[in-house]
Amino acid sequence: MTPTPKEVAPHTGRFLDTMAQEELAIVRRAYAKHVLANADVDDARVEAAFAAVRREHFLGAGPWPMLRWPNRYVPTPSDDPVYLYQDALVGIIPERGLNNGQPWLHAMLIAAAAPRPDEHVVHIGAGVGYYTAILAHMVGARGRVTAIEFDGGLAERLAANFAGQPNVPAFQGDGAQIEFDPADMIYVNAGATRPADIWLDRLNDGGRLILPLTSDKGFGESPENIPIQRRGAVFRIERRGNEFLTKWISAVAIFPCEGARDAASERALAAAFEKGGWERVTRLYRRGDLPDEQCWLKGPDWCLAYD
Ligand SMILES: C[S@@+](CC[C@H](N)C(=O)[O-])C[C@H]1O[C@@H](n2cnc3c(N)ncnc32)[C@H](O)[C@@H]1O
C-alpha cells in the first residue's frame, strides 16, 4: 500500500494529510465567494486571489483570537485553519486592538484599485502580510509588492513570511517617510489625516492610491466602543499627469497611521466630516488656495474638492 503523502502545517509543526489540504482548498473557494458577495464585488481576479492565499501561513500558530461583536476576542476552538476562513477580523496584537483586517473591506478596496499583472504595488501597514500576499498573487511573479510595516515585531514576522520571495521585499519603517520605487498602486492600511507627499510623488501616471482618512471626531454610524479616532473614509486617488482624480469608496474604522497625521489636517477633516458631502469629491489638489465653496476639505496646503 502506498503511504498517504503528508504535509507539515506551517507554524504548528503538525501534519496535515493531503485530504485536509484538498478540503481546505474547497473551503477557501467558498470563503472567497462569501467575501466577494459581502463586498458586493464581482471580480474574478480578486476572488481567485482570496481562494488561493492561505491565511494560516501569515497569522502564526493557532488557536487565533477572532474579534467578535461588540468588542471581544474569542479564541478559535482549535488550531484547525478552517476557522480562519470566515469573513472576520483576527487579532494580530489583540492587546493593542490591532487586527488582520476585515476580508470583505480589503476585497472591495483591492478591487477598486485593480492591481494588474506585472505592476509594482506598495503596501503600507502590511502587518504580517496576508493582504500583501493577495496583492502579490494579483501582480504575479513578474510584478512586485513592497511591504512596509511600522511595528518592529510585526515587521519581523512580515519579513519571515516572505523570505525567499524576492518580488515581495519587506521593510520596517514609517511608510509616510521611507523611500520606495515609483508605484502603480499604493495601498495604505492605516488612518492618515492627509496624504503623505511621497505617496503622491511616487504614484506613476495611471497609478492608484487607496487612502483611508480618519479624524479624531468620528464619522457616520459606528459602534460606541470603537475609538472615535479610528473612524473615517477611504478614497481612491488616481494620478493622471499632474491631476489626482478622487472618488470616495467607503466608510472605515481603522488603526491610526504613524507619521501621516497632523493637527491642522485633522481639524480640516473633522470639519469636513461634520459638513458631509464626501461622496461628491472628485479631485485632490496639492494646494490650499481653492475657493471654499469648491472644497469639501481644505487642508493647509492641500484639499479635496468638487469639479
Ligand atoms: C489595521 S492594521 C492592518 C494590518 C494589515 N494590513 C492586516 O490587515 O493584517 C494597521 C497597520 O499599520 C501599521 N502602521 C501604522 N502606521 C504606519 C506607518 N506610518 N507605516 C507603516 N505601517 C504603519 C500598524 O503598525 C498596523 O500594523
Separation of 257 CA from ligand 1 center, angstroms?
A: 7
| SS3 (DSSP) at 242 | coil
Q: Which atom of ligand 1 lies nearest, measured to the CA of 130?
A: 9
Collapsing DSSP to helix, strand or coil, 52 comes out as helix
Q: Which three cell numbers stand for residue 280?
A: 461628491
Please name which of 234, 235, 257, 253 lies closest in space to residue 244, comparing C-alpha atoms: 235
Return the percentage of the chain with pLDDT > 70, whole number: 89
Q: Which neighbouring-strand residues pair with 282?
A: none
Query: What residue's CA is closest to ligand 1, atom 16?
Result: 257
By most ligand atoms within 8 Å of CB, the mutation choice from 150, 186, 188 for ligand 1 is 150
Which tens digits make up the pLDDT trace of 115-144? 999 999 999 999 999 999 999 999 999 999
Mean pLDDT of the chain, nearest integer: 91
Indicate the helix (H) or strand (E) that contains 286.
Answer: none
- Atom number in ligand 1 closest to CA 176: 19
CA distance 192 to 195: 7
Indicate which atom in ligand 1 lies nearest the CA of residue 123. 6
Nearest Cα to 111, choosing from 208, 256, 245, 34? 208
Confirm whether pTM is higher than 0.95: no
Mean pLDDT of 157-183: 98
| 275-299 pLDDT per residue, tens | 889 999 999 999 999 999 999 999 9
Helices 18-39 & 44-52, crossing angle to 10 degrees?
140
Distance (Å) from CA 2 to ligand 1 centroid: 47
- Grid cell at residue 125: 501597514
How far CA 94 is from CA of 13, 57, 75, 98, 117, in Å, comes to: 23, 19, 11, 6, 34
Considering only CA atoms, which residue is closest to atom 26 of ligand 1? 125
Choose the residue to mutate in 189, 229, 252 for probing ligand 1, maximizing ligand atoms within 8 Å of C-beta: 189
Query: Using only C-alpha atoms, what is the Rg of the chain?
Result: 20
Question: Which residue's alpha carbon is nearest to atom 13 within ligand 1?
Answer: 125
Hey, CA dihedral for 221, 222, 224, 227, is it positive or negative?
Answer: negative
Q: What is the pLDDT at residue 216?
A: 78
Share of the chain above pLDDT 90, in %: 80
Pocket test for ligand 1, best of 58, 109, 149 (most atoms within 8 A of CB): 149
Judged against a pLDDT cut of 80, whether residue 8 lies above it is answered with no
Show the DSSP H helices in the chain as ranges.
Answer: 18-39, 44-52, 103-113, 130-139, 152-161, 197-201, 263-275
Residues with CB under 6 A from ligand 1: 92, 98, 100-101, 124-127, 130-131, 148-151, 154, 174-176, 189-190, 254-255, 257-260
Grid cell at residue 89:
477580523
- Amino acid code (one letter) for 13: G
CB 123 within 8 A of CB 190: no
What is the DSSP secondary structure assignment for residue 153, as one 8-state letter? H
- Residue range 254-263: mean pLDDT, rounded: 91
Name residue 91's beta-bridge partners: 99
Average pLDDT over every residue of 83-111:
96
Q: Confidence class of residue 231 from pLDDT cuts 50, 70 and 90?
A: confident
253: β partners: 231
